[in-house]
Every structure is written in structure tokens, then in C-alpha cells.
Structure 1
């Protein structure tokens, strides 16, 4: 297909050249068309992730004791195949000493929020140090003997998705122990917009460590650069940060994730809807966990059945051993076929709250505040404000953040 596309472009260019011979005006027009075809060809080049650019970072790792922050998404792509980065580095005689694992573990199979234990990787024999169990931040003892820590995890660009919190804590630990951090950048599939309530200082925690919007429109490399330079690490620390940037990618370039970034984000639709449906995590309603359509539907047994034509029953499955509303017939909406979202929408959570038969049991207040980043959102929904009225209240903070964000963008 790629050859055929290139063949068509070549034929088109030669047709323009031959049809405009002898006319300066037409030749100029043809040259413009050729330039446009070349420009489109550049845009359509394959995205090159940081991990694939081995020539840029292998020299930094040779002869060094390396710690890695990695999971199932930490791979090098070779056409339609891929090799795990840990396996690749070991094959290339890089001295990988240990792997630090985020939420969901090294192989990405643990439930959301489930504690992950330290252990040993069966395939490589490497020690696995959990950063989602007793420790969220590597200790000085964990980092002892390491010359560099390499971070390579696929993010989805949503504040309460915990991989950026792990990144921040790793950077802090490495700054405290004078160890460089090497980030291999990957595309953010939700980088095409900035939206949602901004985290308030008093609500910061593992679901949002910095005062950023729910959707912040940055790759993990750009985010690392921002928190490092803006003094967002504890005590204003600065890590010795090195980023291997993407090639042939912009913030509006569509990107398909070939590997689930976590058990309950199975496809592009779920990842796109996650910023909006993820807010249901702070309620007693179900957002598709316990089905094969995680974050592509919502419902609850306590929603008014007369208002919905769609229903489903959550059951334990991969990545969700005990889903909310387990075994209960849930009434709600199927969103698996809706068009791609370019904003955070509150229409579904407002709809679910309005149609709750017992509004007192809808919100899990502490959980909802930690996900939203503010107490105001629950209050606004309970008061009956419209989606637009609520979104208008976000704008001042969003504009303030956009000015900060702009300083650290690595891509258009």
C-alpha cells in the first residue's frame, strides 16, 4: 500500500511537470503542487518513538548500571512486530540492574489501584521494584549503584492516570541522589486539546501531583520538562533530565496504541473517552469495568430504568476482579460508537446524576474530589448547573496553564 501511494504521487508529479512545460506561470504552479505533495509525504512518514531511536541513547547507557521504569508498553517497534525494551537492551549488552514497575505492574495485568508486590521477572531474572505498593517513590537504597534511570512508559494524557505521578516521584528521587533520568518520549493520544478542571493545591496526591488541567495536552517528555523547569518537584529540585524526542509527530497527529496502556483501556475509543468517563471512578456508578467495553459505557442499578434503553451486567474479568455493580443489571448508555471527542464532556455524568433514583449514594465524595481535582465540580453538578456554565468556570485556569505549557512544547 505504501509503494502504491508513492507510485501515485510520483505519477501525479510527472503529469504536472509534463503538462506545464513552456509556461513560467504553469511551471510555478506545478512546483507548488510538487512542494505540497512532498509536504504531505513528510506528514505521512511513520512516527518514530523515542525507544526506536537507539542510536541516540545507547551511547548514554554503554558501560553504565541502568535502572528502568517500564511496563508492557515499553517496546521497540519493528514493522508490525515489537521487542520489549528490557529484552533488547540486555541483548545489546546494556547492564540493566533492576526494573521499577508502575500501577498495573511490569506485565500490565494488575487491577486499577491494586497493590503490586516486588518480585523477579521470570524471563530476565531481573529484580522488580514496585512503585505501586508499599513505595510510590524509589528510595536511596533502591537507587544505590545505578548510574542512570531510563523511563519509558506509554501515557494517555489524563491527569489522574498515575504514570505521570510515578514519573514525577522518580525524577524527585533521582534529583535527590544525583542520578540522571533519561525519558524516551511517546505520543499522547489525547494531546489534541486541553480541557477540564484544574487540580487545586489542597487536593494534590497520586491522582494529580501538580496543578494542571484534567487533560493537559503534553507528551510525557514535555510534561517531564515542564515539572522540572517550573519547580514542580518537591523543594524545587531539578533532575538531570534527558529526553529522546519523537520524530514525525505533532499534537494533532492521530496515534493508535497497539498495546493496552493498562488493562481497562482496551482500544482507541476507550482512551479517547477516558478523560470524561474516568470521572465516574469517583462515583458508585459503573463505567464499563467488568465488561469488554471499559470506558465506553456507563450505568448503574440505581439509575432510572425508564430513561434508558441500554443495559448490561458487570462481571469479574481481566483487569477487574471486583467491578462496581458486580452482578447487577445496570441501566445507562452505550458510547462505543460515538465520534472522537475533542473536549472533556460532563453531559454523561450530569445525565447519570439527574437520573439517579438515590442521589445521596451517587458520589463518593473524597474519590470524586481526587479525580476532579476540586470540590467545586460535585457541588456544581448537585446544584444543577449546566455543562456550559461549569465549563465556563474552568477557562481562567486553562488559559493560565496554556501559557506555562507553551514554554515546554517539543512539537507543533
Structure 2
């Protein structure tokens, strides 16, 4: 049996994702397709535009299972994100992992990973990063390869690294990304548009335009349930940063080089989230990096929390949604060592305490009563 996993965010779910699912099913000859999806906070350091339950309900119309990527992997760097996703894919007996990339060539990406692993001097890499280079740009300079420039290529290298780290037998495959780039801010003139451009248009109230690029019923759901962004948490963040001491802020994951002082000296004068971010942004710290830091502050994720998070110790999977094929497949795993959580209760909630907490905080902005205890697994 071929079981294909896709490590996803679906923020929001759109037509490009449907293309990815259909092509993945085809090239891997999948009997079962699983989406390992971020919860309410994502790898770019952004609150999801709508909650994980709504996203899962629409995704399961196209995949067979939607399971939740652990929070600490969802909000961290590409390597952590990939490692958590691959671990969940392993626990669910996946045979294939299919991801989108600008390259579309798995052999080239594997070779690029090998070159970066074997030929890059770590001191030179660190030196470039200290000069203000992003990690991908530094790698690209040292290897002389343009293939590192795409966001999905970079994530692809992390998936390949994670498979090697976990000594996985999962076969990686890739599909060439279609239409505009991952972080393109404007809607495409083609058939597909980036999640970034769709989010921007939704926040601008341009719902009619985005319906060309995503299921119209999902667009209606987002409008009905309120679109969420990091800006909705600014007052909460402002309170936390103001009242935590510099020592307490230094313990927050991704806080470094005295950045806590920069935050404290600028937060009181900022009126909005964007205003605050522009005040603290430097050449060294990208917008995405700072977004991730803000998410860690909001969720109180510390260095010690991340150090204690070993994906090898994950032995439970939270199922958000399934169709009849997914339900049938889950029954084949009942004798395995993995605990499958469909409905959350007192007995199993300790496995997903981070995700429960993140949902409760997310609901501050979403004005939703849906939480992990009162929302049963979605069945399509």
C-alpha cells in the first residue's frame, strides 16, 4: 500500500494545494493521502488566517486524512518544521513524501543537499550570516547555486535532511511549483496564486477576487468567521513585552543579541503591530524571523521548552479530519505503537497540551468557541 504524506499549512487552502494533492496522488500512486498540517500558528510566524478546524474541513474534501503538526515544529525554522512533519509521516506508516519546489527535480535537490552537507564550511556560513546574509542566500553564495533561492527549494532541502536524520525509508518526491512565487504579494494572472497574495487580498476585503484561486465556500467561511492576523494579538503582545523583565524575555526562544531591550524600548510607542515591527526590524532580522519571535512571546515558548522537544519522543498523532478511506486506514494502525487521537479528553490531552494552549490563545482573536475538547474529528 502506498501512503503519501504532504507537510502543509493550508493558510489558506487554495487551488494550488488541490493541484499539489492531485499530482502527488498521481506520481506516488497513492492509496491514501495524508496532510500533516500546521495548527493555528504557522512556520512564517503568522497566526493562521482561519482556524485549523475550518482549514481541515475543507482540506479533507481532497485528502484522506488531516493530522496536526506539533506546535513547536510548526512555528520554528525550516529544519524543525520538516523534522516534525517527517516524524508524524513516519508514525503514520507513510511510504512517500511529496512536496512542491521551484526546481521540480528531486535528483537535483538531493545532490544540492549532499553538496551543502559535505562542502560548506560552517565557519564561513556563520560568518556570512553574521554579515546579514539570510541562511539560503549564504548557502547559495558558498555553493554557487541558484537552486537554493526558492522558498520551496529551501524547504525541500530540509525535508531531505529530516529524512536522513530520522533514517527514514520514506521516498521523497517533488512537483514543480506552478504560477507565482510562494511569497508573491499580488494575485496572479495565471491559474494559481500564492497563499501570501490570497491572504493579502482577504485582509484588504477583496473576497470576490480570491474566489478565483480558492474554493468559494472556504472564502465564505473565512468571511463569516473573521480573518485573523498577527495584528489581532498586538495589544496582548504589548502587555507581555511591557511587563516581562529583560531576563524573562531573554528566555524566549529566538530572542538573541540583546533584542529584548530593543523590544522593550519600542513597544510602548507603537500603535499597531506593523508600526512595532518596522521599529524593531534591522538588516539582520527579517520580518519572518521577527514574526516567529512574536509568536514565541505570545505562546511563551522558551529555549528550554524547545530543547526539551525531541521529535523522536513524539508517539501520538492528533487527527483533525478524515474521510472513509482515511478512517479505514487508521484502523490498520490500531496495533502499532502510535496513539491516534481523534477526540481529545483528559486521558490523552497531555500529548497535545501545546496545541490546546495555542488554540485557546488563538481564540482571543478569532472570537470562536471551538477548541480541542469540544470539536470532534471532522468526518467528510
**Larger % of helix: which?**
2
Report the TM range for the smaller structure's normalisation: 0.3 to 0.5
Normalised to the residue count of structure 2, the TM-score between the two structures is 0.33
Q: Normalised by the size of structure 1, how large is the TM-score?
A: 0.31
The structure with more radius of gyration: 1
